[in-house]
Every structure is written in structure tokens, then in C-alpha cells.
């Protein structure tokens, strides 16, 4: 078992699988089923018909299904088939035209090292962030 973090390693939650509870993975996680709980992983790939009701924390994520919860991801891609309800915290963000997001977008790392409760940490923030933070990247894909 010498390769615990190899790039070819990933876990799949199939379309027929429904999980109630938090999910943690050290590598890439493919979700095609339903998860009612928080997800923490290195990389998340969400299929079109899948549903996640809970928070997502990952280095990178590619979302194509339904998400109801806050998202804290360094590199985030939201595909046109995605429907997201919740606040989104990111370093780099790509949104395909047609994606639906009902929530606020905010760059990560604005002085708050604990993204455990992103809703509470951003509740009183203004509309523009100035100071010592890097400018987040936002691109709209067509």
C-alpha cells in the first residue's frame, strides 16, 4: 500500500449510492449519487445527476449537479448543469454560462483561516475587499 496519495487514486460514489453523514477522502472523489453531509477531499468531481446537501471543502472541485451548502475550494469550476444554493469561497473560479448559483461569492483567505463557518465569517463584509489579499481570478466560460 505504498501509494496512498498517487495521482491515479480516486473513490467513486455511484448513482445508486446515497450517504447520510460526512465524507472525507485524501485523494480525488467522484460523486454521482446523493450525499447528505459535509465533504472534505483533495479534489471533487460531481456528476450531473448528483446531489450534495452539506458543505464542500477541497483544493479543487468541478461541480455539475445540485449543491445545497457552503463551498470552500481553491480552484472551482461550476458547469452549466450545476445548481448551487450557498456561499462560495474560492481562489480561482470558472462558471459556465447557464449555471445557477444562489449565494454570495467571496475570495478565500481574507484574514479568516478557519473556513468552518463561512456564512458567519462573511456576514458583515463590505462589497469590495482591499488590502493585502491577492486578487481572485474569475472567468466566465462560454
**Per-residue pLDDT reduced to its tens digit, 64-123:** 999 999 999 999 999 999 999 999 999 999 999 999 999 999 998 754 434 444 444 333
- Give the pLDDT of residue 136: 60
pTM: predicted TM-score of the whole model, two decimal places: 0.73
Q: Is residue 55 part of a domain?
A: yes
Q: Is residue 120 part of a domain?
A: no
Q: Is residue 46 part of a domain?
A: yes
139 neighbors 99 (Cβ within 8 angstroms):
no
Q: Is residue 122 part of a domain?
A: no
Q: Is residue 129 part of a domain?
A: no
Q: Which residue has the higher pLDDT, 20 or 4?
A: 20
Q: Is residue 85 part of a domain?
A: yes
108 neighbors 74 (Cβ within 8 angstroms):
yes
Q: How many CB atoms lie within 10 A of CB 46?
A: 27
Q: Among residues 36, 96, 87, 90, which one has the least CA distance to residue 64?
A: 96
Q: Is residue 3 part of a domain?
A: no
Residue with C-alpha cell 448543469? Answer: 81
Q: Is residue 25 part of a domain?
A: yes
Q: Domain residues for 35? A: 12-113+136-141
Residue with C-alpha cell 498517487? Answer: 6
Q: How many CB atoms lie within 10 A of CB 7?
A: 9
CA dihedral in degrees (24, 26, 32, 34; nearest 10)?
A: 0
Number of domains in the chain: 1
Amino acid at each position: 500500500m505504498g501509494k496512498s496519495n498517487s495521482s491515479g487514486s480516486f473513490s467513486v460514489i455511484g448513482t445508486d449510492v446515497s450517504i447520510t453523514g460526512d465524507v472525507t477522502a485524501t485523494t480525488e472523489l467522484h460523486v454521482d449519487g446523493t450525499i447528505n453531509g459535509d465533504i472534505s477531499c483533495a479534489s471533487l468531481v460531481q456528476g450531473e445527476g448528483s446531489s450534495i446537501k452539506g458543505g464542500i471543502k477541497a483544493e479543487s472541485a468541478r461541480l455539475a449537479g445540485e449543491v445545497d451548502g457552503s463551498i470552500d475550494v481553491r480552484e472551482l469550476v461550476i458547469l452549466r448543469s450545476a445548481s448551487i444554493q450557498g456561499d462560495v469561497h474560492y481562489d480561482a473560479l470558472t462558471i459556465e454560462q447557464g449555471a445557477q448559483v444562489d449565494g454570495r461569492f467571496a475570495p478565500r483567505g481574507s484574514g479568516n483561516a478557519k473556513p468552518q463557518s463561512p456564512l458567519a465569517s462573511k456576514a458583515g463584509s463590505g462589497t469590495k475587499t482591499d488590502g493585502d489579499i491577492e486578487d481572485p481570478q474569475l472567468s466566465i466560460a462560454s
